[in-house]
Structures are given as C-alpha cells and as structure tokens.
Structure 1
Amino acid sequence: MIVIVDYDAGNIGSVANICKKAGGKAEISADPERIAAAAKLILPGVGHFGRAMERLNASGIRAALDAAHTRGAPILGICLGMQLLLSHSEEGDAAGLGWIAGEVRRFVLPAPLKVPHMGWNDLHFTRPDVLTQGLEDEARFYFVHSYYAEATDRADVLARTDYGGEFDSVVRRGNVWGIQCHPEKSHKYGLTFIRNFIEKVPGL
C-alpha cells in the first residue's frame, strides 16, 4: 500500500487517481503513525515552501516522514514535494527535509519568459533509473512552478529541463526520488513514471 501524505498542500486526489489508473493501491493519510509505517510514500504538493514545512513540523508528519526515510521506505516527492526533499529554499527562507543536499531558488528569467514556468516541457535524462524506464529521452511533462531545485551533488540528478537555462527536474538519493513536474497531469509519460514507482520499486 502506498500512502499519499495529506498536509493540506493540494492535488492529493489527482495523485490518488493516477496511482489507481497505474494499477496501484494508495490511501490518503495525515496520520503520523500510518505515514511512519507505510510501505511506500508519495509526498505531493503545491504552494509555499515555508508554510508547507511549518505544517509538516506542527502536525507531527515531519517526524513520521523522517522515521520512514530512516528505515528505507521508498519516498517520491512531486512538485513542491520534490523541493521539500532538499536542504533549503529561498521561498520563506526555510529549511527543508534535508534528505537531498541542495537549494531551491526562484527563477530569474529574461523576457519574454515568464514566471511561473507553466506548461509542457522536456525531460533530458542524465543517467538511467528504475523510475525512468520506458521514457524516451525528451519525454514531455507538465510543469507549474516559480522555484526550481538545484542539487549539490550532481550524482543525485536523474533529469534536467531547459527554461531559460537548465534546472534539475528529477532527482534521487537512495530511497528518495523527486520530480518537479506533475506526473498526474502528464498523460502517458506521467502514467509510466508512476507505474514504475508502483511496480518496479519494492516497498518495505
């Protein structure tokens, strides 16, 4: 069973729907005990980094996530959920979960490019991984974000995307993955990515 972490940060239902479409069983939970014991976890999210971390810390979910991470449960962060995996964000000048060393920065772009980065864009894969199997290079995914992740260790980067310069769009360290775009809005490519998480990554 996959637990989708509910911390009032949006797009929970659509993530549950794509898990079901991909053939997986997922439940939505805000219960720290259930989260800590989950076989696999998805940390979705849209919104403000600093406020999201405040909710995770205040609710007890942060401690539950740390417990799950420590025992090696596979964890997938989506959009804001990916950014929360990193050390720190300029958005709210807030510390993240710190499982992947790196910084979250706001886009500073030349005209006519606009912030947020919104719409379809390509993933350029930097190394193979179980979650990207079956996705040809330059698979197109749907993005909506004003901040981007920059991992410190380039070995943690699985894919990059170009929007006024390249940024890290898929990352992994150990049992933790993050994807900046929205698989649940990315049709066949997103379905393949989520199915890989369901079928190819063993849960604990």
Structure 2
Amino acid sequence: MVNLAIFDYGAGNIFSLKNSLEQAGASVDVITSFDKSNIYSGLLLPGVGNFDPAIQSINENSKTKFHDYVKEDTPVLGICLGMEMFFEKSEEGVEKGFNVIDGEIVVLPSTMKVPHMGWNNLEIKKSGTILEGVDDGSWVYFVHSYRAKPKSDDVITAESDYGVKVPAVVEKNNFFGTQFHPEKSGDVGKIMIQNFLNVCKK
C-alpha cells in the first residue's frame, strides 16, 4: 500500500482529497510540519487557502525545510494553491515560493469573473506522467483566482483556454501540479490520482 502525507495548512476541509486517495487504495496521514522523518511514498500540497498563510504555515511550523524533506526522490502533487507554491512568487502575497519551477503566479485577467469556478476542458500539449490515459479535451473542475506564468513552457503538459491560456498541469522532476482539483473532477481526476500513486510506488 502507498503511504501518503497531506500537508494541512489549517485553512480548510481537506476531507475530499483524503477520501479520494483512500478510495484509490492509499494510506493517508495528515501532517502539519516536516519535523518527523519522511516515511512517505509521496506528499500532497492541497488547494485550500491563500499563498502567504500557507507558505508561513510550512516555514514557521517546521524546523525542517521543505526542500530538505522532499529532496529529489519524494513525488509531490500540488493542487491549485499547492501547485502555485512551486513557483518563485505570487501576486497574492509577498512570501517567496519554493522555487522548484522558474516563474510566478499572477492574478487572472479582469476580463474574467474572478474567482473562476467551473468545468473546463484540457488541451494536452505533450505527454506527461499525471496525464497518462487522459484524453485530450477531458473536462476538469477549477476553483481559482490566479494562474501560473512559467518562464519556460517546457514544464506545461496541459492548458485550459479561457480566452487566455492557463497552465493546467505542470511537471518538473518529482513535482507534479494541477491548477484544477482532481479530487473534484470525477473519473478523469481519478485517473490522475491513480497515476500519481503509480509514481509513488516506484
């Protein structure tokens, strides 16, 4: 069985994510610091909360730094806010992100209703680990006010088009991010969750 950890920023209910992982066959612990030994096959940064409080929750509650905890061998799935924390910084706050992907997080354009909530389809740009078995044009569920702006498009495996292209899935090394919520995206989301579990089994 795959043993996973969800980091709880203390910002909201992460039950649906935990439930989705358990339904896929994983054992899941909810953690609030990185100070105990990393015994996990994978880590999830959930999509609940705001940028600065989430970063502060991780930095202030843990003597062990995020990068020291995950290193290069722990797969990390960042969902929405969790994905945004992979980048250097965000217009939502002043804290530094984890800087595992070059670029920043910017607010969605004023031409859109913000926050953007609802189903949008994926435009798959290239093959990716999380997207294995997912069809181009598949629909997933978004709830967000910000979007990623990577310095290189190489990390983007799928986009969504709202009149502006929004990176929907990013991958770099052991870091996998979705701007949408796979745990709320039905059968398509289940495929992605299973793909992440498969990475964690290796």
| TM-score tier (shorter) | over 0.9
Instruction: Identify the structure with the greater helix proportion.
Output: 1
Aligned to 2:120: 121
Aligned to 1:102: 103
SS in 2 for 1:33: coil
In the alignment, the residues of structure 1 paired with residue 110 and residue 63 of structure 2 have an alpha-carbon distance, to the nearest angstrom, of: 35
* Pair 1:171-2:170 in alignment: yes
In the alignment, the residues of structure 2 paired with residue 157 and residue 34 of structure 1 have an alpha-carbon distance, to the nearest angstrom, of: 33
Instruction: Give how far 1:68 is off.
Output: 3.0
Residues 202/144 of structure 1: CA separation in 2 closer, same or farther (3 Å cut): closer
Aligned to 1:69: 70
Q: 8 Å contact 2:47–2:181 — kept in the other structure? A: no
Q: 8 Å contact 2:34–2:69 — kept in the other structure? A: no
Q: 8 Å contact 2:6–2:30 — kept in the other structure? A: yes
Residues 182/166 of structure 1: CA separation in 2 closer, same or farther (3 Å cut): same
SS in 1 for 2:18: helix
Please identify runs of 4+ aligned residues in structure 1 that moved more than 3 A.
33-37
The one of 12, 15, 37 aligned to 2:17 = 15
Number of equivalenced pairs: 200
Structure 1: runs of 5 or more not aligned: none
User: RMSD of aligned C-alpha atoms?
Assistant: 1.7
Q: Percent identity?
A: 37
Residues 202/46 of structure 1: CA separation in 2 closer, same or farther (3 Å cut): closer
Instruction: Give how far 1:11 is off.
Output: 3.8
Give the alignment's TM-score, normalised by structure 2.
0.92
Aligned to 2:45: 43
Aligned to 1:198: 197
Residues 139/34 of structure 1: CA separation in 2 closer, same or farther (3 Å cut): farther
Q: Which amino acid aligns with 1:19?
A: L
Aligned to 1:184: 183
